[in-house]
Amino acid sequence: MRTGTGVLEHGIKGIVAGVFVAAAMAGGANANSEFSYATQPVPSQISSPAASTSATLLPVVLPSPSPIVPPRDAPAVRRTTAPFSPAPNTSAPPPPDSIWLGNDETVTVPIVLHGERPFIQVVIDGHPATAVVDTAAVETLIDAGATGDRDTTEAISLQIGDLRFPRLRAARARVRAYTETYLGAGADAIIGRDLMQRYPISLDFPNRSLTVFRESHGSIAAQPAGAVSMTLRMIDGRPAVAGSVDGQPPMWFALSTGASYEVQLDSVAGRASHPPHGQHSIPFRDSRIPGGDYSGVLVRARSLTLGSLAFNQPLLALPSTRLTQPTSELAGVIGAMTLTRLSLSIDELAGSVTIVASQGATAARLYNLSGITLEMRNGTIVVLSVVPGTPADAARIREGDEIVTINGLAPATLDFARQLLDGSPGTKISIAYRRWHLIHHVTLPLHVII
């Protein structure tokens, strides 16, 4: 005879077994459906008041874990991490004005003269380029290109040797069109004051080199014996020195390696001392950038004095319109035809100019014995102007004629054509030129025209 406890234990086991059997049957019947709890009645083998003829399988709920309690010997929390704060809104520092990449105290690059203007190789925005060094250029000019906007400025990166200007402001202009047409070689930029206001420079034209000095003392130490030092003033953004024409009181002249002729007079005082009438003169027409074409007359002076240097019979250009500001202290400009015969050092920071003149550099210079002024148009060398009363005028060469050959040679560049036309008085030069598809042959006997 079983006791009550045994009967109860045996009954519970039966219920559990029945539940598992019912779950298996329900799983077989709903093999393609989601899992569901078994609710089928489970027969019991034992009748018991505590047993039930049906049961429901309920989900098991586990108790939450006990909270973490630090051990009794743990130290108390005395300090917490400060909350994160947003980073201050600070902009990056601006790039340096210029970067000296090398270890040497100087940067030297070669010079090539085209139309008596100094050309150097540079790097603009990472690309090889060519620049004209004009000591009187107040701002840097960059070529506007065929479709570029003119009269606008932009920041460019310009590098000369190991000297780099990361963000140099440059104005767009027709630099390449101007240099190709009038100087015979294309350039991408014109640089002047932006270089000189930062570093001393030396333009050694006899040796065809440009040197940039890191410090002023390096420029002073590099001056040879016999150099003439002068006081430098910056007038209208241009380097200027005091000079005298024909013994007149000293006047201020800008030094411009980008200007034509030897000396250009703009001031009223200068024009009064050299009127275009009453002495032999010839007309001229020229172009400059920016500013376009201008014209006037050329005359010979007796002398030009710069410090202890005296230039004999310089050629003076008297423009028909004033090119400098009416209120400017500048009396005129000393141009490339004078400066390219010298070694010129300009130290704006120290306020000094040093000139070295080799033997014969101050002698009188012959000017354009043929009377022809040439330019380049679309790859063709064309006559820009003819001076009246000159050999070219006597041969009936006219503006717009295309030069075919000079002395039997077909010049491919403007520099070569000008070189072929250069000669001593009495030399005869044969020229073939084209006009309206017809070729004409003439011979020019060169002689002094002014």
CB 349 within 8 A of CB 216: yes
User: Which CATH number applies to 99-204: 1.10.1040.50, 1.10.1740.10, 3.40.630.30, 2.40.70.10?
Assistant: 2.40.70.10
Q: Is the pLDDT of residue 145 over 50?
A: yes
0.85 exceeded by the pTM?
no
Mean of the per-residue pLDDT values for the chain? 83
User: Tens of pLDDT along 433-446?
Assistant: 999 989 999 999 99
pLDDT tens digits, 355-414? 999 889 999 998 899 999 999 998 899 999 999 999 999 999 999 999 999 999 999 999
> 39 pLDDT exceeds 90?
no
Say if CB 337 and CB 365 are below 8 A apart.
yes
Domains 99-204 and 224-357 share a fold: yes
Residue 75 confidence (pLDDT): 67
Cα gap 362→360, rounded to integer Å: 5
| Residue 226 backbone class (left: φ over 0; alpha: ψ -120 to 50; beta: rest) | left
Q: Pairing between strand 127-133 and 189-191?
A: parallel
Please give the helix or strand (H or E) that residue 394 lies within, else none. Answer: helix 391-394
Q: How far apart are CA 238 and CA 446, in angstroms?
A: 38
Query: Distance between CA 345 and CA 120 in Å, rounded?
Result: 17
pLDDT of residue 118 exceeding 70: yes
* 257-279: pLDDT as tens digits: 999 899 999 855 455 555 544 46
User: What is the architecture, at CATH level 2, of domain 372-445?
Assistant: Roll (2.30)
Q: Where are the domains of the chain?
A: 1-57, 99-204, 224-357, 372-445
As assigned by CATH, the class of the 224-357 domain is mainly beta
DSSP characters over 404-428: EEETTB--SSHHHHHHHH---TT-E
